[in-house]
Structure 1
Amino acid sequence: MMNTSRRITSDQGVVLMQYLARTLFAGLAVIYFHYADHFFFNLPQATPWLLFSAYVGIQLLLLIWRPVNADAFASALDLLTLGIVLLLDAGDPPPTMALLFIAVLSNGLLHGLKRFLIMLAGAEIVLAFVLPIRLSYSDAASASASLLLVAALSACMLYFGLMIWRNQHLSRAALEATWRDPDTDFISREALVSTAGWLVPLHDRISSPLTLVLVRHHELPLLADRVAQRIRRSDVAARYDEQHLALLLPCTATAAAEQLLNDLRTRHQGLRAAMMTLANGDAALEQALSHLQASMARTTEEDNHWLAHAPPIN
């Protein structure tokens, strides 16, 4: 099941799903034309089958060959083919017009708002060429029905475009909330654990000290401002929980880390801290931070007990 999900969500899987969907809708269209009494224009009965074969064959060639901008070529072929299909459809209004807007929506769902707007503009251009030709051969009632269908489908596409934009905005906001803490402007605990763990084995490999610090204060946002001014570009600061900040200080010995904490303590009375210089390159970062949090229980706000040195991790 997991392997199937990976195949479907991979780039190759998405491309294959698009081809199968195109083939399915093309098959539905050609069956519709096969049972239709006549075409909008007088053409040989085999025309839909020839169009189907050419369309599916070119899409298969793009699937196998995968040239540069293959997706753009495939989408342009969709619009061109559907324009021809609309000229064949004898229905008033033509039901195959729905396929044009399905192509627009599927591109938006797969490739985002930019592709959606490009495809929507392309669909309107196709309709701008096809509709005047069809309307010139139709009576007033049929023309009104076709124009109403175009207006309704265009309004639906604009609505779906707004929903795609909204979902993208919410996804970006959720990702930002996961990675950045709004109170301190530092990264979150989840971001720290998932991205900074490589620092532990790296500093063990290069025999350089990596010091971990947990800092606790009742006014964490004010402390965060001061920490942001004092740490170096190579240091990592994160919001650990409601009461703690976590600091990763690469290439920093214990004495240098103590100096930093003493400076913070002079400006923020009531600060408490626990620190440890990692000596075990196999320790997980989350394990080390939990170890520091356990050591924090030994601290108080008194001048002689505000800083705890955590024992090494076995």
Structure 2
Amino acid sequence: METPSRMSTEQGVIILQYVARALFAVLAVIYFNHSSAFFFTLPAVTPWVLAGTYLGLQLLFLVARIPHAALLASLLDLVILGIVILIDAGEPPPTMALLFLAVLSNGLLHGLKRFLVMLAAAEVVLVIVMPIRISYGEAGDPFDPAASASLFLLAALTVCMLYFGLMIWRNQVLARQSMENAWRDPQTGFISRAALTSTAGWLIPLHDRLSSPLTLVLVHDEDLNGLADTVGQRLRRSDIVARYDEDHLALLLPCTAAGAAEQVLGDLRQARPGLRAAVMTLHSANAALEQALHHLQTAMPRTRSDDAHWLAHASPLT
């Protein structure tokens, strides 16, 4: 199932948030209309007034482009929900779950930092609201069964939120590691093949425009880690090295002709006697980097470990 492009934008997410807030506001009004009474004596129209004011202010934040509108909208969620919990006659108050739902949605949309800020703010709201409910309960007894049930629900939801916060943090760490692994090979420390082919292709038309040679090399050694250390010490800062596959490193040598590339490979061969390599200088701006590297790979079987056949020149791309 494809996500509509509008829902992938920031504005689309804000609109989706407003729709969700409107839905929960309607559900809260329906809940209060079917309740026998409020916690305090209030007019029956109170839930409608609260819902209308809340949705009107949220619509203002959505349309008026007020600075920090998203944060103000979240703070309004907490204030209104604090009032709603205060007038909810349920023991424990079911509307308390909406407060933690607001905290969780902020964490999912804005990350761990916003989640922790909203969780702390929600706890401040409850620190204000719950003592008021308990003091106005039956004889103001905090050990009353109804009050105990509310406190237990509060503690349980708080623990759940801390657990969800840990999961959000874990997912962020895994996503960051996945991104690093996609762009950086953890074994050699060089960029990955995907990163090479998706970011370095612009070098081919650039060197053609500058009439400067760009030489590509595939190198192989039985000890890939040792080869990576040697390559990292011997090449220039302008050279690009990437992990091509399980056994090969790919080298892009800018402004380097075939003869100069052979000298570089000869120096590497002296340090790594088992090294084998295939080399090719690009002369066409229309060649794709992935195509050129694959062409080099087809030339690697012609190489052997002996001194006479360790280097293969790939035929020019047509």
TM-score interval, smaller chain: over 0.9
The alignment's C-alpha RMSD in Å is 1.4
For residues 66-106 of structure 1, the C-alpha deviation after alignment (integer angstroms, 9 at most, x for no partner) is 33322111111111111111112111111100000000111
The residue aligned with 1:213 is 217
Inter-partner Cα distance in structure 1 for 2:134 and 2:237: 66
Instruction: Kindly state the Cα deviation for residue 9 of structure 1 after the two structures are TM-superposed.
Output: 2.1
Inter-partner Cα distance in structure 2 for 1:293 and 1:306: 14
1:297 is paired with a residue of what secondary structure?
Answer: helix
Correspondence 1:82 to 2:86: no
Inter-partner Cα distance in structure 1 for 2:227 and 2:103: 51
Instruction: Kindly state the Cα deviation for residue 52 of structure 1 after the two structures are TM-superposed.
Output: 0.8
Correspondence 1:65 to 2:58: no
The residue aligned with 1:110 is 109
Correspondence 1:283 to 2:282: no
Correspondence 1:248 to 2:252: yes
Query: Which residue of 181, 185, 210 corresponds with 1:181?
Result: 185
Aligned-partner residue type, residue 110 of structure 1: L
Residue identity over aligned pairs, in percent, reads 65
Moved more, 253-262 or 146-155: 253-262
The residue aligned with 2:5 is 6
Correspondence 1:299 to 2:303: yes
Instruction: Kindly state the Cα deviation for residue 279 of structure 1 after the two structures are TM-superposed.
Output: 1.0
Instruction: Kindly state the Cα deviation for residue 28 of structure 1 after the two structures are TM-superposed.
Output: 0.6
For residues 195-253 of structure 1, the C-alpha deviation after alignment (integer angstroms, 9 at most, x for no partner) is 22222222222322211110011111101111111222222111111110001112222
The residue aligned with 2:24 is 25
Aligned-partner residue type, residue 278 of structure 2: A
Inter-partner Cα distance in structure 1 for 2:84 and 2:207: 64
Aligned-partner residue type, residue 109 of structure 1: L
Inter-partner Cα distance in structure 1 for 2:252 and 2:67: 44
1:274 is paired with a residue of what secondary structure?
Answer: strand
Aligned-partner residue type, residue 127 of structure 1: L
Instruction: Kindly state the Cα deviation for residue 21 of structure 1 after the two structures are TM-superposed.
Output: 0.9
Inter-partner Cα distance in structure 1 for 2:264 and 2:165: 51
The residue aligned with 2:141 is none
Aligned-partner residue type, residue 252 of structure 2: L
The residue aligned with 1:263 is 267
Aligned-partner residue type, residue 48 of structure 1: P
Inter-partner Cα distance in structure 2 for 1:16 and 1:185: 43
Gaps of 5+ in 2: 139-143
Aligned-partner residue type, residue 225 of structure 2: P
Inter-partner Cα distance in structure 2 for 1:207 and 1:12: 46
Inter-partner Cα distance in structure 2 for 1:48 and 1:130: 18
Inter-partner Cα distance in structure 2 for 1:62 and 1:182: 45
What is the aligned residue count?
313
Instruction: Kindly state the Cα deviation for residue 6 of structure 1 after the two structures are TM-superposed.
Output: 2.3
Inter-partner Cα distance in structure 2 for 1:273 and 1:154: 60
When normalised by structure 1's length, the TM-score is: 0.96
The residue aligned with 2:135 is 136
For residues 24-67 of structure 1, the C-alpha deviation after alignment (integer angstroms, 9 at most, x for no partner) is 11111111112222211122221111111111111112122233
The residue aligned with 1:233 is 237
